[in-house]
Amino acid sequence: MELKVKERVLAKLEKIVGAEHVSTALPDLYSYSQDMTENESRWPDFVVMPRSVEEVQGVLRLANREKIPVVPIVGGANIGGLTIPLEGGISLDLRLMDRVIELNEEDMYIIVEPGVTFGHLARYLDKNCPHLTYSFPAAPPHTSVMCNALLMGMGGMMLPLGGNFDNINGLEVVLPTGEVVKIGSCSVSPYWFSRAPLPDIGGLFVGWQGATGVVTKIAVQLWPKPKYAELTSFLTYDIGTTFRFMRRIAPTGIVTGVSAYPYEGIKVYIGRLEGPVERLPGEPLFTGLIVISAYSEAELKAKAAARDEIIQEESKDTQITTMPGPEMVLVGDNIQHLIRGTIEYKGAVTWMGTFGPTSRWAEATEKVFELFDKYRFPRYGAWSPLRSGHFGMWRPIVAFNKDNADEVERVRKFMQEALVVALDSGFVPYKAPYWAVKAMMERGDPNWVELLRRVKKMLDPNNIMNPGRYGAPEE
């Protein structure tokens, strides 16, 4: 950006948000230029931290006049490079907009601003309505409730509830052109109880990676917190058994969650091992977790019996070993204790996180295991069914050293090939990095692509919002 333009824009930004909430300092721009993934660094020109909807409007109107890109960010911990400003401009850090706007206990929803984190939400619920909970993900506590939902993230109760994107009741959005609009029942009713029964235009902002506007409020559903929970670990020894077992248990309504992780990766990442991976004879292929929860002891007992019956039947011809897991009181919450620190511990991590048909898990997994071996990474990832198994998460994961150029190169190649495996097997990336979005737009239904571009152009005529992603104009 030309210096003269930069100075002019800086002066205007300072008037909108206050000088202490704008930065052009190099160490700040550096921080916002990259994330924990292998995606290349691109520097913003400004970091701006608004504190109100009016300030967001002011920034977007200015950005439109000056044709400056705007990239919304809160925690920046999405594993997709989604907040790296591909074309420079303003990193719009919404962290200071961190109020809980309304808790509606009776109708079981909460309205929060972008900067409300999972830690913040957990604490708030604990204090104000301990009988309600949210589907907390296995994410660092300082990450955004809103961003997780908008980016198609999921939580510990994804099996019965679906992803957190399924449980959005409403939004308040600042459009790229500066207008504020309410989405969902809240646009007609004083209550944010659902996006139904109105035409669901929430889809214009969910999954778009900030390319269609800045969401400034989100209403998400809360759920009665089960009083009892039980965690069981399992080990399986072949791909077929693993996914057959998970696909069988998923739609029964017995379990709150079931997930599988390649044993090799657990061994390496939790054990913090370095060097070539040694696969021992008879070693399990997967380890997994089954969570059941209940509102009474009798219910828990019945679910446990049903779970054990399935395990017993599945174990007849193939080996499934189970053991009780650590004590847990709160569904979903303690998962953070299990997972945190495994995947980010080397300083960088990436994944090909996708949703897809669980019927194709085995096929895609066989192929991606070959890729792990080809590129010399431990086999790791996460596999979980959502919404009673109507679809599932298929997510190969790689932790790597960002200061090792060879590893970064191998990771990039792995990711390119993993994308092909995913798409060929019918899986679709969520939180897709720009290059995966491009590949999907090239492969996808041309009318779908055209519609994406039309929507983007309609909402964001000057293409200021996180350009280079979904709906990007043809090159």
Closest CA to 145 of 99, 84, 193, 212: 99
**Options 9, 16, 17, 35; binder of other proteins; rule CB under 8 A:** 35
Residue 284 CA to residue 463 CA, distance in Å, equals 50
| Least distance to other proteins, CB of residue 141, Å | 5
Contact between 340 and other proteins (CB under 8 A)?
A: yes
Q: Which of 18, 130, 240, 347 binds other proteins (CB under 8 A)?
A: 347
Q: Do residues 164 and 155 lie in contact, with contact meaning Cβ atoms separated by under 8 Å?
A: yes
| Closer Cβ to other proteins, 86 or 348, answer by number | 348
Q: How far apart are CA 303 and CA 294, in angstroms?
A: 8
Toward other proteins, which CB reaches closer, 49 or 440?
49
Nearer to other proteins, 314 or 407 (CB): 407
What is the crossing angle of helices 434-443 and 405-424, to 10°? 30
Give Cα separations from 260 to 304, 400, 437 (angstroms): 19, 21, 27
108: left (phi over 0), alpha (psi -120 to 50) or beta: left
- By CB under 8 A, tell whether 23 contacts other proteins: yes
Place of tokens 């080397």: 346
Report yes or no: 84 and 46 within 8 Å, Cβ to Cβ.
no
Q: Pick between residue 26 and residue 196 the one whose CB is nearest to other proteins.
A: 26
Quote the least distance from Cβ 341 to other proteins, whole Å: 3
Residues 138 and 203: beta-carbon distance below 8 Å:
no
Site string for other proteins, 134-153 (x = CB under 8 A): ------xxxx----------
Contact mark string toward other proteins, 401..430, x via CB under 8 A = xxx---------------------------
Nearer to other proteins, 49 or 289 (CB): 49
Number of H helices, E strands in the chain: 14, 20
Q: Which of 47, 173, 418, 464 binds other proteins (CB under 8 A)?
A: 47
Length of the chain: 475
What's the min distance (Å) between Cβ of 143 and other proteins? 6
Residues near other proteins (CB under 8 A), total:
40
Query: Residue 344 interacts with other proteins (CB under 8 A)?
Result: yes
Q: Which residues pair with 355 in a beta bridge?
A: 393, 428
Give yes or no for residue 96 binding other proteins (CB under 8 A). Answer: yes
DSSP state of 195: S
Provide the β-strand partners of residue 386: 391
What is the C-alpha separation between 162 and 177, in angstroms, rounded?
A: 32
Where does this chain touch other proteins (CB under 8 A) — which range of 54-62, 301-309, 397-405, 422-430? Answer: 397-405
- Interface residue with other proteins among 1, 6, 101, 119 (CB under 8 A) is 119
Candidates 118-126, 198-206, 313-321, 465-473 — which segment interacts with other proteins by CB under 8 A?
Answer: 118-126
CB atoms within 10 A of CB 97: 23
Q: Which of 32, 234, 377, 380: binder of other proteins (CB under 8 A)?
A: 32
90-93 vs 381-386, strand pairing mode:
unpaired
Asked if 197 touches other proteins (CB under 8 A), the answer is: no
Residues within the interface to other proteins (CB under 8 A): 21, 23, 25-28, 30-32, 35-36, 47, 49, 75-77, 93, 95-96, 117, 119-120, 122-123, 140-143, 272, 340-341, 344-349, 401-403
